[in-house]
Amino acid sequence: MTWASHIMVGAATAKVFGLNYVLTTLGSILPDLVEMFSKKMTHRGVSHSVAISLVALVLLWSTPIRDAWIGVVFGHLFMDSLTMMGVPLLDERSRRITIFGGKLRTGSPGEFVLTGIIAFVAFIVLGSFSLDTERRNWQDLHRKGIADKKEYYTNRFNFF
């Protein structure tokens, strides 16, 4: 997938789940950025590892950078898993995972149509709807002065 598609799906993920747009969209291109700055990593190798990314997401869940890792998993790995090359389970030598048979080609019209549909659903159809209403309410309560700073920071990442 192209960076434009990763960024758009990262932003759509942030919109639907009430996440930080900057962190989630940055996370959506992070695996490719790591490859770009590393001279030893191969394309769609360990930086695209499903296993490593899911473990990192669990470990980082209660931290401020959690939203970036959600961007990695949904904005990047999910989208790359739709392509013929897929994404590796662990590293470049391990089994590759594809979703829906890995039919899309990077840069093809199909990629941009799918990205457009995801963005349309997230921003137009769902509009102001968010699956993460609890977190949004804590932000509103803090902005209105109802919840103090300590209470906001304690509860902003709680989902249950």
**What's the pLDDT tens digit per position in 31-90?**
999 988 888 888 888 889 999 999 999 999 988 899 999 999 989 999 999 999 999 998
First to last CA, the chain: 34
Summarised one tens digit per residue, pLDDT across range 9-42 is 999 999 888 888 999 999 999 999 998 888 888 8
pLDDT confidence bin for 153, thresholds 50/70/90? confident
Lowest mean pLDDT among 78-82, 96-100, 150-154: 150-154
Rounded distance between C-alpha atoms, residue 111 and residue 108, angstroms: 5
Q: How far apart are CA 147 and CA 149, in angstroms?
A: 7
Angle at alpha carbon of residue 32, lines to 54 and 102, rounded to 5°:
70
Is pLDDT at 128 greater than 70 in this prediction? no
| Distance (Å) of CA 55 to CA 49, 69, 70, 82, 93 | 10, 10, 12, 21, 19
